[in-house]
Amino acid sequence: MALIEPDPAGSGLPAMRIAGFALLGVAAVATVIGLGTLATEGNTTAAPTSSASVTATTETSSSTPPVTTTTAPLTTTAAPVAPPPAPPPAPVRAPLRVYNNSTIPGLANRAAEDFRSAGWPVEEVGNYPGGIIPTSTVYFRPGSGEEVAARQLGSEFGLRVEPRFAGLGDASPGLIVIVTNDYQRR
């Protein structure tokens, strides 16, 4: 059986030990990077783009130069960012004529003030004696582009929205609002 005797000339055994320690250091760095990648692999949240390098240096004796190992940069990319939502469309306002078709005096004036306070232009206020309207309604001219404004006003104040009927067909452009007893409860 042969015994290994120490190398009296110092021919390479310490250099091999240093190289072994350097390889152990590289293995430790690779393990940390691998575990970090494994931990973030299932993560779908956006991460800022970054770059990092890891350098391992092993100290040696003064007769042997240090061994330095550098790993490749670690890079992550962020998920695409959605553009901000578009601002809501500007409200469509059309001139209003407000008529009372109820037994409540001044109801058209009160409704006209409500509409003005909400930014609607009111051109005329009066009474509608041409028949009985069952519920407060906004009337528009079909095909004129007034329907969008009529639906907006109806939605804002809980009014029914209808195309003009024969008795209103020849009235000047703009929306016609006929308020009835039910407007008082709004």
Grade residue 87 by pLDDT with cuts at 50, 70 and 90: confident
Distances (CA, A) of 62 to 14, 18, 21, 65, 66: 12, 12, 17, 7, 9
Q: Is pLDDT above 80 for 183? A: yes
What 8-state DSSP symbol labels residue 182? G
Residue 59: predicted pLDDT: 52
122-127/67-70 β-pairing: unpaired
Domains of the chain, CATH where assigned: 13-38+46-76 (no CATH), 96-185 (3.30.70.2390)
Q: Is pLDDT above 90 for 25? A: no
Sign of CA dihedral 100, 105, 111, 117: positive
The mean pLDDT value of the chain amounts to 79
Grade residue 3 by pLDDT with cuts at 50, 70 and 90: low
| C-alpha span between 180 and 22 (Å, rounded) | 91
Q: What is the pLDDT of residues 60-80, one digit of tens each?
A: 555 666 666 666 666 666 677
| C-alpha span between 101 and 129 (Å, rounded) | 7
Q: Is pLDDT above 60 for 170? A: yes
Residues 174 and 149: beta-carbon distance below 8 Å: no
| C-alpha span between 84 and 176 (Å, rounded) | 38
Average pLDDT in the 116-130 region? 95
| C-alpha span between 104 and 107 (Å, rounded) | 6
Q: Is the pTM of this model over 0.75?
A: no
Residue 98: predicted pLDDT: 97
| C-alpha span between 182 and 103 (Å, rounded) | 11
